[in-house]
């Protein structure tokens, strides 16, 4: 392609500034061959018209096509065509599935570029700056929680977050599959950890960590909820027992005594005495 572009440029040069043959008597007028230059020559014959020294037959349409080709290559080199993939698409009737697939494809194409930028430029620059700051003694002492822990830089740019969001689509597919399978095999839900899912999914989407509670706080909330439910059940049981005692206490004593005497009324019959 480079050889082809070289030959194309030479062809354009031959059209715009071709080599010419000039009589020796015009040797001193060589500088006048630039655009806007004037030749003072003795005309031959009766033709005294002023005319160009030579004609340039340049096809401007081909030149504009070449300029557009160069522009497209520059946009492709800076991945402008990928960033503006959907904006430059003038088709109608595009489905949401196609948009999602093209978005995922765009991020996959930009993935190697972003990884090289982070691994070969940004991460070394951060490490060098951190080393200089540590040698200069301008860093505060690390907290005890970070002693002996290897620090890892996490990039939070819009493009980095968009790349991590691609993994969220795989998680959505997994949840959909697990939900459909749970209708046939409910025990498959035992393989799913909702707490880990909430943390991982929030990280993929770049959600503010303040919106998701820490595991320790969640444990305390659940323990408080279980204690409140146990106290509510105990209160309900006590109320039910109290109500039963009240019903028993409100029963008339004569009616209860007559019921008991009626149970033993058969022992006063003559047949009972003979036995």
Instruction: Encode the chain (275 residues) as per-residue pLDDT tens digits.
Output: 677 778 778 877 877 777 776 666 666 666 676 776 766 666 555 555 555 565 666 677 777 888 888 888 888 887 777 777 766 677 777 777 777 777 777 777 777 777 788 888 888 999 899 889 988 988 888 888 777 778 888 777 777 777 777 777 778 888 888 888 888 888 888 888 888 888 888 877 777 778 888 888 888 888 888 888 888 888 888 878 777 766 666 555 555 545 545 555 554 544 444 44
Look at residue 242 and tell me if it is in a domain: no
Co-location of 7 and 69 in the same domain: yes
Last residue of a domain, one of 183, 206, 221: 221
Cα 176 from chain centroid? 19
CA distances from 143 to 61, 146, 147, 162, 217 (A): 68, 6, 7, 32, 22
Give residue 49's pLDDT. Answer: 55
Query: Looking at residue 25, what is its pLDDT?
Result: 67
pLDDT score for 74:
85
If DSSP codes are grouped into helix, strand and coil, which group holds residue 84? coil
85, part of any domain:
no
Q: Is residue 89 part of a domain?
A: no
pLDDT for residue 275? 42
Burial call 220-254: b when 16+ CB within 10 Å, e when fewer? eeeeeeeeeeeeeeeeeeeeeeeeeeeeeeeeeee
Residue 227 within a domain: no
Contact 169, 107 (CB under 8 A): no
Sign of CA dihedral 199, 205, 210, 211: negative
* Residue 198 lies inside a defined structural domain of this protein: yes
Residues 121 and 189 in one domain: yes
- What distance lies between CA 261 and its chain's CA centroid? 84
Rounded-to-integer distance, Cα 180 and Cα 186, Å: 10
Residue ranges making up the domain that contains 119: 98-138+152-221
Asked if the structure places residue 166 within a domain, the reply is yes
Do residues 11 and 110 share a domain?
no
Query: What CA–CA distance (Å, rounded) separates 160 from 117?
Result: 11
Q: Residue 12 burial (CB < 10 Å; 0-12/13-18/19+)?
A: middle
Query: How many domains in the chain?
Result: 2
pLDDT at residue 171 in the model: 83
- pLDDT at position 30 is 64
Segment (H or E) for 106: helix 96-117
- Cα 198 → chain centroid: 16
119 shares its domain with 211: yes
- Asked if residue 106 and residue 17 are part of one domain, the reply reads no
pLDDT, residue 271, reads 46
């Amino acid at each position: 392609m480079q050889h082809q572009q070289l030959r194309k440029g030479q062809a354009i040069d031959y059209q715009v500034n071709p080599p010419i043959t000039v009589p020796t008597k015009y040797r001193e007028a060589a500088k006048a061959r630039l655009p806007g230059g004037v030749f003072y020559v003795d005309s031959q014959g009766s033709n005294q018209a002023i005319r160009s020294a030579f004609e340039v037959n340049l096809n401007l349409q081909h030149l504009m096509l070449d300029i557009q080709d160069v522009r497209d290559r520059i946009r492709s080199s800076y991945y402008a065509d990928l960033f503006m993939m959907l904006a430059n698409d003038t088709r109608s009737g595009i489905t949401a599935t196609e948009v999602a697939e093209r978005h995922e494809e765009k991020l996959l194409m930009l993935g190697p570029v972003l990884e090289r930028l982070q691994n070969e430029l940004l991460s070394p620059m951060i490490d060098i700056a951190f080393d200089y700051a540590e040698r200069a003694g301008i860093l505060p002492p690390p907290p005890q929680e970070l002693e002996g822990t290897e620090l890892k830089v996490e990039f939070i740019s819009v493009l980095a977050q968009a790349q991590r969001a691609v993994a969220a689509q795989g998680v959505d597919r997994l949840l959909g599959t697990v939900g459909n399978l749970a209708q046939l095999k409910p025990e498959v839900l035992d393989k799913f950890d909702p707490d880990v899912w909430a943390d991982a999914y929030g990280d993929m989407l770049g959600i503010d960590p303040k919106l998701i509670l820490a595991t320790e706080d969640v444990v305390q909330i659940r323990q408080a909820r279980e204690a409140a439910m146990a106290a509510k059940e105990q209160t309900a049981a006590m109320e039910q027992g109290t109500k039963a005692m009240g019903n028993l206490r409100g029963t008339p004593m004569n009616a209860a005594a007559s019921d008991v005497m009626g149970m033993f009324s058969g022992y006063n019959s003559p047949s009972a005495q003979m036995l």
